[in-house]
Amino acid sequence: MSQLTGFTPWPEQDAQRYRELGYWTGETLGAMLQRKAGEHPDRIAIVCGKRRWSYAELDAKADQLAAGFARLGIGAQDRVVVQLPNVAEFFSVCFGLFRLGALPVFALPAHRRAEISHFCRFADAKAYVIADLDGGFDYRTLAREVQAEVPTLRHVVVAGEAAEFTALADLHDTPIELAGPSAGGVAFLQLSGGSTGLPKLIPRTHDDYLYSVRASAEICGLDQDAVYLCALPVAHNFPLSSPGTLGVLHAGGRIVLARRPSPDEVFPLIGTEGVTITALVPPLAMVWLDSARQRRPELKTLKLLQVGGAKFGAEVACRVLPELGCRLQQVFGMAEGLVNYTRPEDSDELLHHTQGRAISPHDEVRVVDDEDRDLPDGELGHLLTRGPYTIRGYYLADEHNARAFTTDGYYRTGDLVRRLPSGHLTVEGRAKDQINRGGDKVAAEEVENHLLAHPAVHDAALVAMPDAYLGERSCAFIVTRGDPLRPVELMRFLRERGVAQYKIPDRIEFVTEFPKTGVGKVNKRALRERIAELIAATD
Ligand code: OOB
């Protein structure tokens, strides 16, 4: 079958090597689930509220939905934007689409009109799958706005009350014979944290993704007894594949879905379902640590807490074992591919002070200076990587790809790291123009462009400011055209443009001009220092 237009494949020589090594097995995600359902049909695969789906049920629903989506006219390589909260339907929908060879485009529940319209337009999506309501927000209202902006979007499919749209429940048809995708082809499009004007889409293949999932499951020691609590947004790469829910399905274990990650919601669930492993971002880990003082008995089945998505400081990392009573694993990964884990055999020093080492002996990890020259271990530099599950290009982004990848295919992660002789990395900063808001990635240029659309804004620069809870929050420096402007007006303006809440600047500072670098660019470092000093002075 022909490859998706806009996908950059691995050079054939590398692809062949990854197959010979047994990394790329030729199995698709859909086939993996079918195999598991054949091995143990009656085991519970997913717990979602009061619902419990066995492997056989999940497998059957996937086949039925593949038939239902086909009836809507969705076929191989068609894109479908999937924006679901942590509900079981996420899995029946995704596996249904995988079986059909259609490609889910993973959106986050926090995304709003600006982001979703962009994904639908950019990926030329045929359908958009949502839940009716979640967290008090009506996604059907959002879908109406998106449809008005993107007329090429043909179908809106709703898990729950569908109103004028197609009900997901009605899409469960009698399974049909399907050719199915090839494992070397793109399985879905994942979101990039981004640093440029518009979010980029990441094409991941069945072969490469399943390799990272299998290898991750092995590193984390998952087996049939694994009970994985999914408390982060289910479509994010960390809870999806590191080893995440897919790793658990591969191991034959059980996924427990939580709608919210707060201790009140999940601690009782950990107790009743016997959760053994979960994944959190650092701010949530801190909230759990604080709550665990009173409620530790509820956590007694928990063996492993993975923390990643943003830097987990050593001062907090060392509290996990004594205060939560479970082992810690640091995870430093990216939707583009490379994932690093601390290992069970690592010393406390490595566990608390590093963000782990790469999954695969065939992950090629380089730490380089500004001129791409390799640096010795211990020195701070830019992290470049290529390997069996790291993409060679973003979807439909030739121009950007020329900058984001070296000519020999290394991905420029934008992270500043040090490497130890053991291969362990410590993340010490970022060269990319992004704010990591407790694991939520905010691309500065994207938000600046929204700010610049305001008639009273002459120039805008978004930078990170330190925050005790989230690690970083965002601060927008604004030069106005002269008319007075209040921060609340700008924030309302962004909200009305349909920008996700986590991207709205946490603070707005008006200035008359920006400090400039020698070459005349906005000096963001100076702006970061200025806001950090201001905060320190008022604390
Ligand atoms: C994960 O994926 P993304 O795509 O949301 O974000 C990737 C970026 C990295 O390039 C790095 O800047 C930052 O997030 N990051 C970390 C980190 N983990 C991710 N920075 C410091 N320390 C860490 N432990 O965030 C992601 C994907 C798979 C597994 C885990 C995280």
Task: Please name the residue whose Cα sits nearest to atom 9 of ligand 1.
Answer: 334
**% the chain with pLDDT above 90:** 96
Q: Give the integer Cα–Cα distance in Å for 444 and 441.
A: 9
**Average pLDDT of span 123-135:** 98
In the prediction, which pLDDT does 1 show? 59
- Ligand 1 atom with the smallest distance to the CA of 439 is 25
When the pLDDT of each residue in the chain is averaged and rounded to a whole number, the result is: 97
Given a cut of 70, whether residue 76 has pLDDT beyond it is: yes
Q: Give pLDDT tens digits for 253-308.
A: 999 999 999 999 999 999 999 999 999 999 999 999 999 988 878 899 999 999 99
State the distance from the centre of ligand 1 to the C-alpha of 332, rounded, in angstroms.
Answer: 5
In the prediction, which pLDDT does 158 show? 99
Given a cut of 70, whether residue 437 has pLDDT beyond it is: yes
State the distance from the centre of ligand 1 to the C-alpha of 385, rounded, in angstroms.
Answer: 14
In the prediction, which pLDDT does 196 show? 80
User: How wide is the angle at C-alpha 202 spanned by C-alphas 200 and 207, nearest 5°?
Assistant: 175
Q: Give pLDDT tens digits for 39-55.
A: 999 999 999 999 999 99
- Ligand 1 atom with the smallest distance to the CA of 356 is 24
- Ligand 1 atom with the smallest distance to the CA of 336 is 4
> Residue 428: pLDDT band by 50, 70, 90 thresholds?
very high
> Residue 539: pLDDT band by 50, 70, 90 thresholds?
confident
E-state strands within 261-402: 277-280, 304-308, 327-334, 337-341, 357-358, 364-368, 381-386
Q: Give pLDDT tens digits for 396-425.
A: 999 999 999 999 999 999 999 999 999 999
User: Residue 230 CA to chain centroid, in angstroms?
Assistant: 13
State the distance from the centre of ligand 1 to the C-alpha of 440, rounded, in angstroms.
Answer: 9
- Cα pseudo-dihedral 422, 423, 424, 428, rounded to 10: 130
State the distance from the centre of ligand 1 to the C-alpha of 424, rounded, in angstroms.
Answer: 15
Given a cut of 90, whether residue 2 has pLDDT beyond it is: no
In the prediction, which pLDDT does 41 show? 98
> Residue 144: pLDDT band by 50, 70, 90 thresholds?
very high
Nearest to 419, CA basis, from 344, 332, 337: 332
Q: Give the integer Cα–Cα distance in Å for 418 and 423.
A: 10
Q: Give pLDDT tens digits for 344-397.
A: 999 999 999 999 999 999 999 999 999 999 999 999 999 999 999 999 999 999
- Ligand 1 atom with the smallest distance to the CA of 308 is 24
Instruction: Give the residues surrounding ligand 1 with Cβ less than 6 Å away.
Output: 193, 237-238, 242, 308-311, 330-335, 339, 355, 413, 415, 427, 430, 436, 441
Given a cut of 90, whether residue 126 has pLDDT beyond it is: yes
**Average pLDDT of span 504-528:** 96
Q: By the 8 A CB rule, do 126 and 154 touch?
A: yes
State the distance from the centre of ligand 1 to the C-alpha of 333, rounded, in angstroms.
Answer: 4
Name the residue of 106, 209, 332, 430 to mutate for ligand 1: max ligand atoms within 8 A of Cβ.
332
In the prediction, which pLDDT does 471 show? 97
Q: By the 8 A CB rule, do 359 and 339 touch?
A: yes
State the distance from the centre of ligand 1 to the C-alpha of 498, rounded, in angstroms.
Answer: 25
**Average pLDDT of span 87-102:** 98
Nearest to 127, CA basis, from 105, 96, 160, 100: 105
Task: Name the pairing type of β-strands 51-54 and 44-48.
Answer: antiparallel
Task: Please name the residue whose Cα sits nearest to atom 14 of ligand 1.
Answer: 309
State the distance from the centre of ligand 1 to the C-alpha of 125, rounded, in angstroms.
Answer: 27
Task: Please name the residue whose Cα sits nearest to atom 12 of ligand 1.
Answer: 415
In the prediction, which pLDDT does 197 show? 82
**Higher per-residue pLDDT: 309 or 294:** 309
State the distance from the centre of ligand 1 to the C-alpha of 148, rounded, in angstroms.
Answer: 34
Name the residue of 334, 363, 394, 428 to mutate for ligand 1: max ligand atoms within 8 A of Cβ.
334
Beta bridge partners of residue 522, listed in sequence order? 516
- Ligand 1 atom with the smallest distance to the CA of 242 is 29
Give the domains, in start order, of the chain with CATH numbers.
55-181 (3.40.50.980), 434-538 (3.30.300.30)
How many CA atoms lie less than 13 Å away from 186 in the CB half-sphere?
A: 27
Task: Please name the residue whose Cα sits nearest to atom 16 of ligand 1.
Answer: 310
Task: Please name the residue whose Cα sits nearest to atom 22 of ligand 1.
Answer: 311
